[in-house]
Structure 1
Amino acid sequence: MALSPDLLSILACPEDKGPLYHLEAEDLLYNPRLTRAYAVRDGIPVMLIDEATTVDAEEHERLMALVEAGSISPTFSAS
């Protein structure tokens, strides 16, 4: 299930308050600054720090390649 654009535009990492990448095919929101992934379950983002997954360097590279290949924009522009 896709997340609404309105919801995506306000989602931020609960830890560093920065933007995330929504990888719909992976059912996750990704913070490359902290290498932290937040699951999306049944169309609901699980934005709990304790339930986030820290990814290793190889997984980070894979996720960022998906971001680049899909021209995925962050949830908002950090200014």
Structure 2
Amino acid sequence: MSRAAEIDPIVRERLVCPTDHGPLLDAGDELYNPRLRVAYRIDSDGIPVMLAGEARAVGDAEHATITGGADR
């Protein structure tokens, strides 16, 4: 099971991107913002690191993989 899937559902539904305040996609051990193409890691304790300065940029190929090729 991925770290994203292990987040408490009540907590998960309240998590949004700290930059644009929009919804995030579960992407394995990260939460992904397809609009800004940035990923937020989930640490080994299962805590999402929701700091804009720690977000990881995602390239076109990885974006297509995460979104299933949909341009969101």
Could you state the TM-score of these two structures normalised by the residue count of structure 2? 0.83
Gaps of 5+ in 1: 69-79
User: Paired residue for 1:12, among 7, 11, 16?
Assistant: 16
* Unaligned ranges ≥5, structure 2: none
Would you say how many aligned residue pairs link Structure 1 and Structure 2?
65
Give the structure, 1 or 2, with the largest relative contact order (CA under 8 Å, sep 6 or more).
1
Using the aligned pairs only, state the percent identity.
45
Quote the residue 2:26 is aligned against: 22
Q: Normalized against structure 1, the TM-score is what?
A: 0.76
Instruction: Trace 1:1-79 onto structure 2 (pairs within 5 A).
Output: 1=3, 2-23=6-27, 26-41=28-43, 42-65=45-68
- SS of equivalent to 1:38: strand
CA distance in 2, matches of 1:7, 1:43: 12
Aligned Cα RMSD in Å?
1.7
Measure the CA separation in 2 of the matches of 1:32 and 1:10.
17
CA deviation vs aligned residue, 1:29-74 (integer Å, no higher than 9, x gap): 0000000100011200000011100101011001112xx8xxxxxx
Where does residue 76 of structure 1 map in the other structure?
none
